[in-house]
């Protein structure tokens, strides 16, 4: 059955598994691809979003005990809000202030929060929202399997 024309605009052209993570500028001297190590766990989030707060709590919980993952959070926030989070997380994750329209332009962001597990070739292995430790583990598991090969 063909989709009605008026619903076509709701088709989401989002980044999917097996897509390659686009590069984007994060600062004057840093691009997203510069942050790649042998993997990258990327989150798009906002301090203006209740679900995003839960995602940040899960990242907090994980990184208190484990600092084995290269975690980057692109955050829609005000400068004061991101400074609080940078001071809170210290060196456990990398945080960058990125407005939603820039996330959308480069990363096809259509909703927040969303996470991506990316291998060293910039290929997306998994992507979904993270709201608890089980969903965090589901996000990173294919990457951990990939790294153990």
Whole-number Å distance between alpha carbons of 29 and 56: 26
Find which of 8-17, 102-111, 118-127 is predicted with most confidence, using mean pLDDT: 118-127
Q: What is the pTM of this model?
A: 0.90
3-state secondary structure of 87: helix
Comparing CA positions, the residue from 37, 36, 14, 34 lying closest to residue 25 is: 34
Contact 76, 82 (CB under 8 A): no
Element (H, E) at 60: helix 50-65
pLDDT tens profile 54-98: 999 999 999 999 999 999 999 999 988 889 999 999 999 999 999
Instruction: Give me the pLDDT at residue 39, please.
Output: 94
Let me know how long the chain is: 149
pLDDT tens profile 16-27: 999 999 999 999
């Amino acid at each position: 059955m063909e989709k009605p024309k008026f619903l076509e605009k709701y088709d989401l052209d989002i980044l999917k598994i097996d897509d390659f993570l686009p590069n984007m500028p994060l600062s004057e001297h840093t691009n997203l691809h510069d942050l790649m190590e042998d993997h990258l766990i990327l989150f798009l989030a906002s301090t203006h979003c209740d679900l995003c707060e839960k995602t940040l709590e899960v990242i907090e919980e994980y990184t208190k005990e484990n600092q084995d993952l290269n975690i980057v959070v692109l955050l829609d926030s005000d400068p004061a809000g991101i400074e609080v989070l940078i001071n809170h997380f210290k060196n456990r994750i990398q945080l960058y202030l990125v407005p939603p329209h820039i996330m959308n332009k480069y990363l096809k962001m259509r909703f927040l929060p969303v996470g991506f597990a990316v291998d060293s070739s910039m290929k997306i292995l998994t992507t979904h929202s993270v709201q608890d430790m089980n969903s965090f583990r589901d996000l990173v598991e294919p990457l951990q399997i990939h790294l153990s090969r």
